[in-house]
Amino acid sequence: MRITSFLSVLLGISYFLTPSASFASDYHSPRTAAIGGAGHAGPLLNDSIYLNPSFGSFMPAYSLSGNYLYYSSPRPPGQDYDEHHGHMANVSVQDGRSELFQAGVGFTQSDSARIVNIGASKAFMQRYGVGIGAKLLLPFHDDRTLVKDGMASFSLIASDWAQIVGVVDNILETKDGKPRGLYREYILGTKFNIQSMILLYFDPHIAPSVSEIGQPSFGHESGVEFTLMSDLLLRGGIFRDAHVPFANVRGSGYGLGFGWLAPRISFDFGMSRISTPFIATAYNMGMTVYF
């Protein structure tokens, strides 16, 4: 299925999803949430659309993914009721087999936003990858503003045990994008493979402009994956002063989850919990078919 045709289908689906009241920008898959938002240096399949488009060229497969997230928070700031809750739904498709370049597109529907993410990449000498991405926050409810931004990334497969990437997210950093959490961010992503049994991720980042709203500009996402069996992964991670999409807040907390990988399908579950600036918990589950 062509990417352009699938994008049209995604936009059509969005009108049938039920809205409520929350905020969101971009998306963390169950796997990304479980490792604390890390994984820029080793996104799995469609995660590259959101984390690092340049890595899409290193996954030669067609993949279709669907995910659902539910979150709740006891009395978030500025609200006068006891509990705040909501949901997000996400679908995406990626073509990693095209000879010219590799590309993917994803659509996310939250309770207050519709977001389209697009990523494209090209690899050189099987070790280097470059990529660009675009994101569109579509008009929704009473907000008729179309917000546009993008990202650029570079990936280096340094060795069998180490990968390094550089990502610049929200390059445009527009005045309409800032209130929606789209601050320019510079991310250094690293991945270390210890005998294919333990995968370590450490992704420090800096977002200079968040100091304008009195928040720390430096933070990190760190995660680990344990290979319990050839097809079962246990995941955990922490994040500090990082953007958390389901709550559209820069905060600190942790993630936990697991994944099961079959020859042409994977199932993933992730839990993400914010501890500061307020408490909120999200439960994220999804399935990916690839061939």
Q: How confident is the model at residue 82 (pLDDT cuts 50, 70, 90)?
A: low
Q: E strands, the chain, where?
A: 62-74, 83-95, 102-110, 114-124, 128-138, 147-156, 162-169, 185-194, 198-206, 218-229, 232-244, 249-261, 265-276, 280-290
Query: CA dist 15 to 109, 139, 283, Å?
Result: 9, 12, 23
Q: Please compute, for residue 203, the number of CA atoms within 13 A of its CA located in the half-sphere on the CB side.
A: 34
* DSSP assignment letter at 18: P
Q: Give CA 136 to chain center in angstroms.
A: 15
From its phi and psi, is residue 270 left (phi > 0), alpha (psi between -120 and 50) or beta? beta
6 pLDDT above the threshold of 60: no
158 pLDDT above the threshold of 70: yes
Q: Give CA 244 to chain center in angstroms.
A: 9
Query: How high is the mean pLDDT of the chain?
Result: 88
| Total residue length of the chain | 291
Q: What is the pLDDT of residue 83?
A: 59
4 pLDDT above the threshold of 50: no
Q: How confident is the model at residue 75 (pLDDT cuts 50, 70, 90)?
A: low
Q: What is the pLDDT of residue 156?
A: 96
In this prediction the pTM is 0.87
From its phi and psi, is residue 126 left (phi > 0), alpha (psi between -120 and 50) or beta? left
Q: Give CA 184 to chain center in angstroms.
A: 16
